[in-house]
Amino acid sequence: MNPHLNHQKGNSMRICVFCGASAGNHPDYLQAATRLGHALAGAGIGLVYGGASVGLMGRVADAVLERGGEVTGVLPQFLADRELAHHGLTTLHTVASMHERKAMMADLADGFIALPGGIGTLEELFEIWTWAMLGQHRKPVALLNARDYYGQLLAFMNHVTTEGFLQQANRDMLLVDDDPARLLDAMRRYQPPVTGRWMPKEGT
């Protein structure tokens, strides 16, 4: 069992969710955000996210809250100034920059899930996955692949692996499912690779 996610309901375990500030062009994306929020709350897992009230970000937060769960938002001041903050959260941290936002979300979370989203979501996903490859954390990183949104990206990452720019062990770090409950179960069972490129060998 993964030590970060091997908690009982009621403890302070949190999952950071990266996702779009837009809702996308298909209702399946909002439904996926709702299902994930309900699954998190039902499992007693708190949500950490970017603090906004719009798009998939607002929907996943609302879904956790409507089932009695805890939600922590982290929002840069310049976005708060644009009145994008969700004011119904359990806790809302306002920070000075995007860099501080990402660092705080990473520190607060025991694992990471990306819902569909745009360039910002992809940037957050790849950064936190890279940190795992470099041994900077041992937390699970996952995709909730609603409507096969990430299918072409996953095919490209397989191509990157085949072409020798990504080790298979590091490719396999990224967990993928279209069902929130199964994805959370996979995250609980996740064990990071002991060795890999840029990572120290066990015992060193």
List phi, psi (to 5°) of 37: -60, -45
For residue 105, what pLDDT is reported?
Answer: 98
Residue 124 reports pLDDT greater than 80: yes
Residue 35 reports pLDDT greater than 50: yes
Residue 197 reports pLDDT greater than 70: no
Domains of the chain: 14-109 (3.40.50.450)
List phi, psi (to 5°) of 176: -140, 135
- What is the model's pTM? 0.92
Average pLDDT (181-186) is 98
The rounded mean pLDDT for the chain is: 92
Q: How many CB atoms within 10 Å of residue 72?
A: 21
DSSP H/E element including 37: helix 27-42
Give the pLDDT band (50/70/90) at residue 8: very low
For residue 40, what pLDDT is reported?
Answer: 98
- Going from the C-alpha of 30 to that of each of 4, 51, 123, the distances in angstroms are 27, 17, 21
Residue 196 reports pLDDT greater than 80: no
Q: Please state, for a pLDDT cut of 70, what percent of the chain lies above it.
A: 90
For residue 194, what pLDDT is reported?
Answer: 79
For residue 9, what pLDDT is reported?
Answer: 42
